[in-house]
A and B are shown apart, each in its own frame.
Chain A
Amino acid sequence: MKCFPRMIFLFLFVTCGLFAQDGFKAVQDQVVEYTLKNGLKFLLLPRHDAPVVSFHTYVNVGAVNEDRGITGLAHIFEHLAFKGTSDIGTKDYRKEKVALEALDKAWTALRAEEAKGSRADTVKLMQLRAAFEKAQEEASQLVENGEFDRAIEEQGGVGLNASTGADATQYYFSLPSNKLELWFSLESARFYDPVIRDFYKEKDVVMEERRMRTESNPIGKLVEEFLAVAFKAHPYRDPVIGHMSDLKGITREEAIAFFKKYYIPSNMVVAIVGDADPRVVVQLAHRYFDRLPDRPKPSEVRTVEPPQKSERRVVLFEQSQRYLLVGYKKGSATHPDDAVYDMISDILSSGRTSRLYKSLVRDKKIAVQASGFSGFPGTKFPNLFAFFVIPAQEKTNEECLAAVEEEIEKLKTERVGEDELKRVKTKARANLIRSLASNAGMAGQLTYYQMVYGDWRELFRSLDKLNAVTADDIQRVSKEIFVNTNRTIGMIEPAK
């Protein structure tokens, strides 16, 4: 409610160009923030250059919220969120509901027998499998396959997708602006009344995704092994895609419970950027999203990663050339040194004037790519400052590691020069301006800053914070985090 005054301001003054003297201020002034009674927050940035509008729903649930045994569920649910509702994606929901329940029963019976392992009765197993497949066939006869996606695509929706990470699940697409209401209708329906159908087949699809991204992909394998070693307690250690056994075992009931626990209005934020009228957006928000029931906020992740005491190392021998991944533990996005981490990342990795490029790629020619970045595998909780290096042909991981260490040592022992600081700050400002050009990009950024930092304005404040970072800050933070006992080293070596 707190944003009504700003809305009225908008009604009275037809805004001119997006970028006035103080451009970022002008953009901020145009953002309309509106929160429904159930806690669902809307952020709207109207821009009428073209008759298009982008939507982004950020749900504050990710792989970190999965308990033991259900890894991969946040991501599976993201897939299921495209399956429709009781009146989208079905031929006859009354019959389908019955068929889905029968299917769950058949699956539970099959799983129970399978769980006996070598003591399972093979004849019974075959019967149960046949029964399950028959039940699955019956249920899928009642599905109106692809209706949710089609409803968006045939109205001209583009960029339709979703993503799941360690911290969050995000849903997004763009529409021609006259179809604004379509987003409200579909997005509210899928989070008000989701029907989890095609569940067991969708798990097969996700297992194929796991084979593609992790099991048949050397870098995917490296990341999974690396995180399992870098974090010993915090759920950042578990793969977002999930462990194969969990993917097989997760039940439809668990998926429904997961949805009810985490998909609650106050745990979600929506951004709409583009050709939309704030008055209409507010009306539609009420009309479509008021129905989402307010439930208590889920408890936060309890486990805190204990301080690291020793260097950890993981080496994979693969049919692949070498890769090097090094991670140092650091604070979360809301840590007071957040901007310093970003600054270090820019100094090390941004552009051809960055230190890692100059040293490893350009001068030593021992790598073809070298970067150091903050926020791996997520940002919401204490995470890693990670270095990723692709060694050049016939160069070793060890010589690349030594060169990275050399750059780290410089950060710890030498003050960063004023010119370099200034250049990095100028680049950051220019990049922020560039990022404003994309409706979809802005929508994503606004929701991220709102949910992770508690205020979308942080997107703009981040620049001020970056500008305030000094050479001393960089040296202090480098000395603090870039310590050998605070790091994990992961590498791929070619299998002999």
Chain B
Amino acid sequence: MKVFRTFAIVLLVALTSTGVGAQQRRPGPLHYKKLQYPALRPLQIPEPFRVQLENGLIVYLLEDRSLPLIGGSVMVRTGSRYEPADKIGLAGIAGQVMRTGGTSSRTGEELDELLESAGASVETFIGVASGGARLSVLKEDIEMGLQVLADILQHPAFREEKIELAKVSARTAISRRNDQVGSIAFREYNRLIYGPMHPYARITEYATIENITRQDLIDFHTKYYAPNNTILALWGDFDVNEMKKKVDAAFGTWRRKEIAIPPIPQPRLANARSVHFVRKDDVNQSTIYMGHLGGMLNDPESAPLNIADQAFGGASASRLFKRIRTEQGLAYSVGSFWGESFDYPGLFFLSGSTKSETTVKMIRSLLREFEDVVTSGITEDELKYAKDSYLNSFVFRYDTKGKIINQLVTLEYFGYPKDFILRQQSEVQRATREDVKNAVKNRWKPDILTILVVGNVNDFDEPLSAFGAPVKEIDITIPPPPEKIPDPTPETIARAREILKKSQSALGGAKLLSVKDLHYTAKVTQVTPAGEFTLDSEVKILLPDKFVYNMKTPMGEMTTAFDGAIGWITTPRGTEEMPSQARQLYASQVASNLLVALQNYDKPEYAVHHIGDEQFNGTSIAVVVMRYLPLNHTFRYFIDTKTGLVVKKIAKTMTPSGLADVEEVYSEYRTVDGIHVPFKTIVTSGKQKVSETVISSLKVNSGLSRDSFKRP
């Protein structure tokens, strides 16, 4: 031992270059402020090999011989932001079932066995703004791994039983979404900032999950998965040239195709402060979020804003942490988050949790700190702390080959320059206290904060109206799953036709069938959060599918029209064509219109069946399900079995708060020119009255010409 020790010391003296002395004259420990550090050895950032295959697939390769492993990642230009609003959850389920549902040549279970027997994994997913896959294999299994990956991306089979499995998981997630305070708070804050139906905030509902079919998954995959819409990265224990050949073999035959990426509306910044809460009686701590839209990564003010965020609430020696946690003991979790995304504004918020009895006190503290940083910016010392933290930890962005290559893939995917991270670094280096002050003044807005509290309202120290009225309660009750409609049988189909036939004659019989056009004026009362407004309207309908709906509003006339193929909206500001989703919506409304449906229920476009009778005010009401096949639009008619009059229609429709059952109650039937129609319609959605329409005059077959239904 002794000998070894001496030997070691000799070596230490000879080889030490960092200035740390030898053991004999061991100096005492130093206070951290007295330490002097050698320069960090220069960061060697290897340049991955990049190639584009003939089919358009972009491939990045990077050798990493440290372990006998190979990692891979795939980015596909798609995302849940592109899924239709009545099928929320489609992208997520597609991303899952691509892998679990197997491929045309192997079931999901066969893939599980094959991969796991080699200790390997290939997983797929679709997120908000991209889709993709991850691969991890021992190097000797790379051919199998690549082959599986290529197969899944190109030929997913979307087997039904795995779609159902994914749906069970999606429904379960919906049923559990109000169990944890933290997830309620984040979800509702997100919805408040982007808008509840915006693609960055909308959430799955039982109804949207039920709407998703296998064909939807196939279509979604077909629309976006192509080599020219994909980037593949591989890193690990391989030779680049050999790997290039393997990639060619696995992906070379994938066929390119035209890809169209739909535009996404950009979210807008709020224009006033608002206060919201969610009641949760079983907790003793409130979760608080307050903020507004954040920014984008390529924002010119990104560097100073990130510095401000780090100093203000983004780190454990930040202002919020020190003042609210350490000095006041008000919270365990508290901080700020300046969120930035690549191609849309992220979220900005201050957040924290505190016991119910200090809820308002905590919000006041947060507000005070926020107003203070917006007015005065940060100190020179805080600037130094934030910049040093960022710059000195910079090396951790490049400390593994996986990070290096995936960073480049992501930058390319979003069309950012490949030296973006280095540019960011130099911007942080350059930023001054003045820059930070200006950026914060420009972008952090105390007067448009959205404030949200989830907690036990009864125990708050003061009412939330301390922060401005009105204080709005958010109802997080989960909309129940749509009722299960029984399958049609020959008997129920026959019964439905019988009832509808009776209805047809009750509304005019032959006269009804001879209706070609309608022209009426009506008073429409709309119920909005700001109160009720009654407007005059004029409606022209040319059966079966054309209409012009004109409304006189305080802002001028507004016309919504549909010519059977396209729709448009004319306001004093001009005419705009309807987006395709709105067009679909109007087309399905036309198909379920009382006159249209009763004229045409026995045509092949409609499938009808009777699902039962309900008692209402002593009369028996038959419930008939009708489906308009070209649009797969299902709605229910409630028909008085004695009189044959339709008393109600329920159809699933897009509303401002998402897909919901909308109910139309018909009354005040009157006869005009031999046809018998309801003069009053009350529309409700989710137990809330939406509008009431009362017809003042009606003309039948007044000879409306096709020209009145042309786009101006």
Contact = CB atoms under 8 A, between A and B. Distances in A.
A282 to B, nearest CB: 8
A52 interface: yes
B353 A212 contact: yes
A426 B168 contact: no
Interface stretch (B14-22, B435-443, B548-556, B595-603): B14-22
B168 A353 contact: no
B230 interface: no
Contacts of B328: 201
Contact of B333 (A198, A212, A362): A212
B38 A178 contact: yes
B136 A434 contact: yes
B12 A365 contact: no
A39 interface: no
Interface in A352-370: 352-353, 361-362, 365, 368
A319 B281 contact: yes
Given A49-B66, A205-B325, A215-B285, A283 B116 contact: no
A176 interface: yes
A154 B388 contact: yes
A209 B352 CA distance: 11
Nearest to A155: B392
Nearest to A427: B119
Interface stretch (B25-33, B408-416, B488-496): B25-33
A272 to B, nearest CB: 15
Contacts of B302: none
Contacts of A483: none
A17 B66 contact: yes
B176 A156 contact: no
Contacts of A427: 116, 119
A156 B317 contact: no
A182 B32 CA distance: 6
A134 B180 CA distance: 38
B629 interface: no
Output the residue of B32, B173, B285, B331 with the most chain A CB within 10 A.
B32
B107 to A, nearest CB: 12
A283 B280 CA distance: 56
A217 B330 CA distance: 19
Interface string B1-44: 10011011001100110101111001111111001011111010
Contacts of A49: 66, 399-400
B322 interface: yes
B69 A437 contact: yes
The dominant DSSP class at the A interface is helix
A484 interface: no
Contacts of B520: none
B316 A50 contact: no
A19 B66 contact: yes
B120 interface: yes
B287 to A, nearest CB: 8
A73 B382 CA distance: 33
B517 interface: no
Given A4-B4, A156-B394, A176-B395, A368 B169 contact: yes
Contacts of B112: 351-353
A5 B37 contact: no
A390 B396 CA distance: 36
Nearest to B137: A430
A88 interface: yes
B528 interface: no
A98 interface: no
B30 A198 contact: no
B20 A284 contact: yes
Contacts of A151: 32
B68 interface: yes
Nearest to B283: A216
Interface string B100-140: 10000000100011001111110000000000000010100
A225 to B, nearest CB: 15
Given A204-B329, A319-B281, A426-B118, A279 B400 contact: no
Contacts of B355: 207-208, 211
Interface string B374-412: 000000000011001101111110111000000000000
B17 to A, nearest CB: 9
Contacts of B174: 393
A321 B176 CA distance: 6
A215 B35 contact: no
A427 B341 CA distance: 36
B8 A209 contact: no
Given A150-B385, A319-B281, A368-B169, 7 more contacts: A50-B399, A154-B389, A212-B353, A216-B283, A282-B12, A283-B23, A365-B168
10 contacts: A88-B31, A147-B317, A178-B41, A182-B35, A185-B32, A208-B329, A211-B353, A283-B23, A430-B138, A433-B68
Top 7 closest pairs, chain A to chain B, by CB: A156-B392, A430-B119, A204-B329, A201-B329, A146-B317, A150-B317, A216-B283
